[in-house]
Structure 1
Amino acid sequence: MDGVYVGKAAVDAAGDGGWLLGHFKPEDDIRHSDEVEIKWGMHPRGDRRAQWATGEKRTALLVLISGRFRMEFPEGDVVLAEQGDYVVWARGVDHSWYAEEESVVMTVRWPSIPGYKVPEA
């Protein structure tokens, strides 16, 4: 079917650091977008972001699919504990995260900014 892509999030995410949609997909791929990025994140218990994201240039939404996931912000933490719990943070809000239990989360960020990536520690 032209203009249709069917995939499996866990399988497709493994090939691109978890990202399913965004500027980093080839321009001729239906999953290419300059407006939005979508990530399927699978995190083992105890997994922690390598370093805090600072000077964020995108707005983001993170939704808990399963597990228990802690989002860390300078003014306090948010624990997502029930399926469907979510948090949204604005551009410029520093953040990090920690998987309190094995967790699956979906992250949506906008816009999709080429070349923007927080370096690994």
Structure 2
Amino acid sequence: MSDIHVGRAAADAALDHGWLLGHFKPPGDPRHSTGVEIKWGVHPKGDARAQWVHGEERTALQVLISGRFRLEFPDRTVILAEQGDYAVWGRGVDHSWYAEEDTVVLTVRWPSVPGYKVPVPVPETDPPRTL
């Protein structure tokens, strides 16, 4: 496989829940990394994290590209409102987020650690009907 990958963040991110680089890319792909993860996050207004992150083992940097994004921490709320606004938080910092407007953020986390995927809710099915 080539040591060069060229793409477009918005298109490539849509293929893997926003993630462009990290342990979850196949070994041999230049986007595979156990040292760092990079996400191009596109969030429509009102989008919110499904659940808080507890017991975080990574450090994170989040940079606002466009929109307005609220980061929630146990003892503080941070608003990213102007292009280039950013926040960095370390290991052990619980957090969540909310898109106050249509938003694009770039997130960098390190190291790239398996096992942090938020479970995707399973749609409820209609209960069996008695005829």
| TM-score band, normalised by shorter chain | over 0.9
What is the rounded CA distance, in whole Å, between the counterparts of 2:91 and 2:74 in structure 1? Answer: 14
CA-based RMSD: 1.1
Matches within 5 A, 1:89-100: 89-100=89-100
Q: Give the number of equivalent residue pairs.
A: 120
% identity of equivalent residues: 73
Residue 111 of structure 1, CA deviation = 0.3
Counterpart of 1:108 in structure 2 is 108
What is the rounded CA distance, in whole Å, between the counterparts of 1:61 and 1:47 in structure 2? Answer: 19
Counterpart of 1:49 in structure 2 is 49
Counterpart of 1:22 in structure 2 is 22
Residue 40 of structure 1, CA deviation = 0.4
Counterpart of 2:8 in structure 1 is 8
Tell which structure's C-alpha radius of gyration is larger: 2
- 8 Å contact from structure 2 (residues 3, 29) kept in 1: no
Residue 118 of structure 1, CA deviation = 3.4
What is the rounded CA distance, in whole Å, between the counterparts of 1:100 and 1:120 in structure 2? Answer: 22
Letter in 2 for 1:67: G
Counterpart of 2:118 in structure 1 is 118
What is the rounded CA distance, in whole Å, between the counterparts of 1:116 and 1:23 in structure 2? Answer: 11
In structure 1, runs of 5+ residues without a counterpart are none
